[in-house]
């Protein structure tokens, strides 16, 4: 039942200009110019070594002032446009009924097509509310791979997450174009075994962060919709990077080349029943999120619950000015020049690393390049935290900050208490939107290459402090002896 789709060779996707520019071999540059700059610090190796020890070899615990190029995350780290900043000045900070809320509501309805919206301070605020409303204790929540906060909220609400992503997603060397796709057979097996009533909803992310930023195809979403409708199961969409996913459909899926990204985004959303959004990614804001649904009853409950956890339903933990910046950012996120440059910059870095023979997840994802730590450091066992140590070594090398996405991020199985052992043991070089230039990407690629040259001398880590929830944020490590 796998949807047909192209395999993606990397070179075919390294497009940063539009087709016309490509045919005429015209150079490409960022579709914006810089109006304000933020100075960043260079550090010495000694300073970085001290900072790493202080941070327990966890890049989350490094002060950002000691970071040169910050690729920890693309979340809340983007540069806002002059229009967004102008919108910030138009904040209506009324407790109830802020004009910016109505603007945001309209932007979401127009761009995504969902009917009812509830703002939240960020994505996980929406996940908390929606999970509590839609999951009954003992139910399953199948999804196309997990995301850390999403799965935790599903579990805290009494649900059990089941991974139904296609097997290709777990193989960093498989170049299938749409590795975010759902394996419909896996979903069917779950339905047959437990019954549709035991399934709270299907949780679908566009794109799939933990798989390396891999997109879902439209054909797969349509098949999923049909199967879920047949069994009366809802689909909840983690739409955090939906514009990036739509761009990949436009570029690679047959039949979509002449459609706008906006049009594809709307169709993706129309195939789902509701969504949670971290607006800190696609929507180009430093803080914000929302949940959006088409079902009035779910909306009513969410609108009531948001008051308990976030704030009144017309601000959801945000200032009026934040909602205005989000409304404007949503519009900018689906502009063709923007999305092409955004994904194009990630591909530029990916191509540099591939050309240098560095093991990365293939195909290159849309929001970052993911180093394959198992292949980079094959001499380390997974319990020596290869991705964690690789992120630390990259910081030590050059002050570039990346993030572990492997065994530490995966956490522990709540029933057995043992680690989850994910197939993918990755270091994520996540690219903020509109914040860095191609020159920064060159520096990053060279830094990774230098670490690769001395990879054989790198030893593992042991965990010396482990928090109970989302341990990767605050866990501490020490170096194992050589
Ligand atoms: N879903 C996905 C796919 C995400 O990538 C994130 C956050 C969330 C939900 C939660 O949203 O942070 O606004 O509460 N991802 C960030 C990252 C943290 O670095 O990938 P949030």
Phi first, then psi: what are they for 415, rounded to 5°? -85, -45
Q: What's the 325 CA to ligand 1 centre distance in angstroms?
A: 19
Residue with tokens 């605020």: 125
Res 423: pLDDT: 93
Question: What domains, with CATH codes, occur in the chain?
Answer: 6-67+336-479 (3.90.1150.10), 82-333 (3.40.640.10)
- Does residue 104 contact residue 273 with C-beta atoms inside 8 Å? no
Q: Residue 238: CB within 6 Å of ligand 1?
A: yes
Q: pLDDT by residue (tens digit) across 449-468?
A: 999 999 999 999 999 999 99
Q: What's the 314 CA to ligand 1 centre distance in angstroms?
A: 22
Res 25: pLDDT: 66
Active site residue 405: yes
Q: Residue 161: CB within 6 Å of ligand 1?
A: no
Active site residue 238: yes
- Does residue 121 contact residue 288 with C-beta atoms inside 8 Å? yes
Q: What's the 295 CA to ligand 1 centre distance in angstroms?
A: 24
Instruction: Please name the residue whose Cα sits nearest to atom 19 of ligand 1.
Output: 73
Q: pLDDT by residue (tens digit) across 75-107?
A: 999 999 999 999 999 999 999 999 999 999 999
- Name the pTM for this structure: 0.94
Instruction: Please name the residue whose Cα sits nearest to atom 5 of ligand 1.
Output: 209
Active site residue 95: yes
Active site residue 347: no
Active site residue 197: no
Res 41: pLDDT: 86
Q: Which residues does the chain have with pLDDT short of 50?
A: 1-5, 9-17
403 CA closest ligand 1 atom index: 19
Q: Residue 122: CB within 6 Å of ligand 1?
A: yes
C-alpha span between 475 and 6 (Å, rounded)? 40
Active site residue 101: no
Q: Residue 75: CB within 6 Å of ligand 1?
A: yes
Strand, coil or helix: what is 116? Answer: strand
Torsion angle, alpha carbons of 43, 45, 48, 52, to 10? 170
Per-residue CA distances from 177 to 107, 202, 226 (Å): 30, 22, 22
Q: What's the 123 CA to ligand 1 centre distance in angstroms?
A: 6
Alpha helices per DSSP H over 135-260:
148-156, 184-194, 218-231, 242-252
């Amino acid at each position: 039942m796998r949807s047909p789709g192209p395999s993606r060779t990397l070179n075919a996707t390294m497009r940063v200009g539009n087709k016309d520019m490509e045919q005429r071999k015209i150079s490409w540059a960022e579709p914006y110019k810089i109006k304000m700059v933020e100075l960043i610090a260079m550090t010495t190796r000694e300073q970085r070594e001290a900072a790493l020890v202080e941070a327990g070899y966890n890049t989350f615990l490094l002060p950002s002032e000691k970071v040169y190029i910050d690729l920890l995350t693309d979340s809340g780290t983007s540069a806002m446009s002059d229009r967004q900043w102008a919108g910030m000045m138009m904040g209506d900070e009324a407790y109830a009924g802020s004009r910016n809320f109505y603007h945001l509501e309209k932007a979401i309805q127009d761009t995504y097509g969902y009917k009812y919206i509830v703002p939240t301070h960020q994505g996980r605020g929406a996940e908390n509310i929606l999970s509590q409303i839609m999951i009954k204790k003992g139910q399953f929540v199948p999804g196309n791979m997990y995301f850390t906060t999403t799965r935790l909220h599903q579990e805290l609400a009494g649900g059990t997450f089941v991974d139904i992503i296609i097997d290709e997603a777990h193989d960093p060397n498989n170049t299938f174009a749409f590795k975010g796709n759902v394996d419909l057979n896996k979903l069917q097996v779950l339905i047959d075994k437990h019954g549709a009533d035991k399934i709270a909803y299907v949780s679908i992310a566009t794109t799939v962060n933990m798989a390396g930023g891999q997109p879902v195809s439209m054909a797969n979403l349509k098949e999923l919709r049909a199967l879920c409708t047949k069994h009366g199961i809802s689909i909840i969409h983690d739409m955090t990077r939906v514009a990036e996913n739509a761009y990949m459909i436009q570029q690679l899926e047959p039949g979509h080349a002449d459609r706008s990204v906006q049009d594809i985004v709307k169709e993706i959303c129309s195939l789902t029943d509701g969504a949670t959004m971290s607006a800190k990614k696609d929507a180009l804001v430093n803080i914000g999120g929302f949940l959006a649904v088409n079902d009035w009853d779910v909306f009513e409950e969410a609108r009531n619950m948001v008051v308990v956890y976030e704030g009144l339903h017309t601000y959801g933990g945000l200032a009026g000015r934040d909602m205005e910046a989000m409304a404007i950012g949503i519009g900018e996120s689906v502009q063709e020049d923007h999305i092409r440059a955004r994904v194009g910059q990630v591909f530029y870095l990916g191509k540099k690393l591939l050309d240098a023979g560095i093991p990365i997840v293939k195909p290159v994802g849309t929001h970052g390049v993911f180093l394959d730590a198992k292949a980079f450091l094959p001499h380390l066992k997974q319990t020596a935290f290869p991705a964690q140590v690789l992120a630390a070594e990259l910081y030590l090398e050059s002050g570039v900050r990346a993030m572990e996405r492997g065994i530490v991020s995966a956490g522990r199985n709540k029933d057995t208490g043992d680690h989850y052992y994910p197939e993918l043991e990755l270091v994520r070089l996540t690219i903020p939107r509109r914040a860095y230039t191609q020159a920064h990407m060159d520096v990053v690629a060279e830094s990774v290459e230098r670490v690769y040259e001395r990879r054989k001398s790198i030893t593992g880590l042991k965990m010396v402090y482990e928090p109970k929830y989302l341990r990767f944020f605050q866990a501490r490590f020490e170096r194992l002896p050589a």
